[in-house]
Amino acid sequence: MFTGIITALGDITHAQPLGDSAQNSAPGSGWGQRLTVSCPAGFLDDVALGDSIALNGACMTVTQFDAAAPSFQVEVSAESLSKTTGLDRSGPVNLEKALQAQDRMGGHMVTGHVDGLGRIVALDPVGESVLMRIAVPPELGRYMAAKGSVTVHGVSLTVNRVEDVPASDLPCHFDINLIPHTWAHTVFRFLSVGSTVHIEIDLMARYAARLAQTDLPQVQGDDHEPLIYRHIKTGRLYAWIAQAKNCTNGDQDGVAMAVYRSVDEDKIFTRVLDEFLTRFEPL
């Protein structure tokens, strides 16, 4: 996991096909690339083989590193290359090491899994800042909301405005305000109108959209039950929610915390459930 707070700028200095020949390393052949990435002094001081580092928001595994150089290597699969941009050639990249338990949560929860690509359609100075407008396809646009979070090229950002532009090939446009610090310490200053960027949608938006689907399996029950309750009740946490339904409002927080502690393998879902139990009434 990451937070979307960029800690260094790196540079892809070498991209080597993993195939054995020009034929099997060609695009679409199923072979990936081995990247060598240079980074600032000290960046690798606490890095070990197998650690995760996000390159422009795409989570990669360190396969070799040289702290003296300093540089490290990652291997990018053909699947990752097909879903990302700029990771098959030399160029600057945003770097973030994986989150540790004691780290501050400065941005928001970021997985390092690129959901899709967006295109910069405007970069306009606004006072001391830069307004960046990004266009995305509808499958990503449905998750964008004003004052919500989004990850662009690995950077945790706040969406200031969302506009639907049906006539556009990418019909959802959203605005981001880049403060001078972000502009100076990320790859955004190297980009221009027309540049393609990685987009990762907010985890909470992803789960909320799933829970709000009206085509999920329905169950028998009180017609006055909230739809979201009936949806969650079909899952494996039914017993806990049934207990929460019968408890008083004062007990809901306790039940939510019990769920959180008892389901170790799915922390994200239990956090969603925690929000559900404490915010949605009547239960």
22: pLDDT confidence band, cut at 50, 70 and 90? low
pLDDT for residue 73? 98
pLDDT tens track for 122-171 = 999 999 999 999 999 999 999 999 999 999 999 999 999 999 999 899 99
In this structure, of 16-25, 46-55, 103-112, 234-243, the range with the lowest mean pLDDT score is: 234-243
Q: Is-same-fold flag (8-97; 116-201)? A: yes
**What is the mean predicted confidence (pLDDT) over 106-110?**
92
Find the helix or strand (DSSP H, E) in which 14 lies.
Answer: strand 8-17
Looking at CATH, the fold of the domain delimited by 116-201 is given as Elongation Factor Tu (Ef-tu); domain 3 (2.40.30)
Domain regions of the chain by residue span: 8-97, 116-201, 213-279
Q: Average pLDDT over the chain, rounded to whole?
A: 82
Task: With a cut of 90, say whether residue 77 has pLDDT above it.
Answer: yes
**What is the mean predicted confidence (pLDDT) over 50-54?**
98
In this structure, of 82-96, 194-208, 238-252, the range with the lowest mean pLDDT score is: 238-252
Task: With a cut of 90, say whether residue 16 has pLDDT above it.
Answer: yes
Residue 76: other Cβ atoms inside 10 A: 20
Task: With a cut of 50, say whether residue 236 has pLDDT above it.
Answer: no
Residue 19: other Cβ atoms inside 10 A: 16
Which long-range contacts (C-beta less than 8 Å, at least 24 apart) are formed by 270-273?
270/237, 272/204, 272/207, 272/208, 272/211, 273/232, 273/237, 273/240, 273/241
Cα–Cα dist 87/95, whole Å = 13
- Two structure tokens written together for 209: 């959209």
Q: By CB neighbour count within 10 A (0-12 exposed, 13-18 middle, 19+ buried), where does 8 fall?
A: middle
**What is the mean predicted confidence (pLDDT) over 236-251?**
50
pLDDT for residue 210? 77
**C-alpha pair distances (Å), 45 with each of 30, 48, 49, 68, 98:** 34, 9, 12, 10, 14
Task: With a cut of 90, say whether residue 108 has pLDDT above it.
Answer: yes
pLDDT tens track for 161-218 = 999 999 899 999 999 999 999 999 999 999 999 999 999 999 988 888 877 765 555 5
Task: With a cut of 70, say whether residue 98 has pLDDT above it.
Answer: yes
Q: Which CATH class is domain 8-97?
A: mainly beta
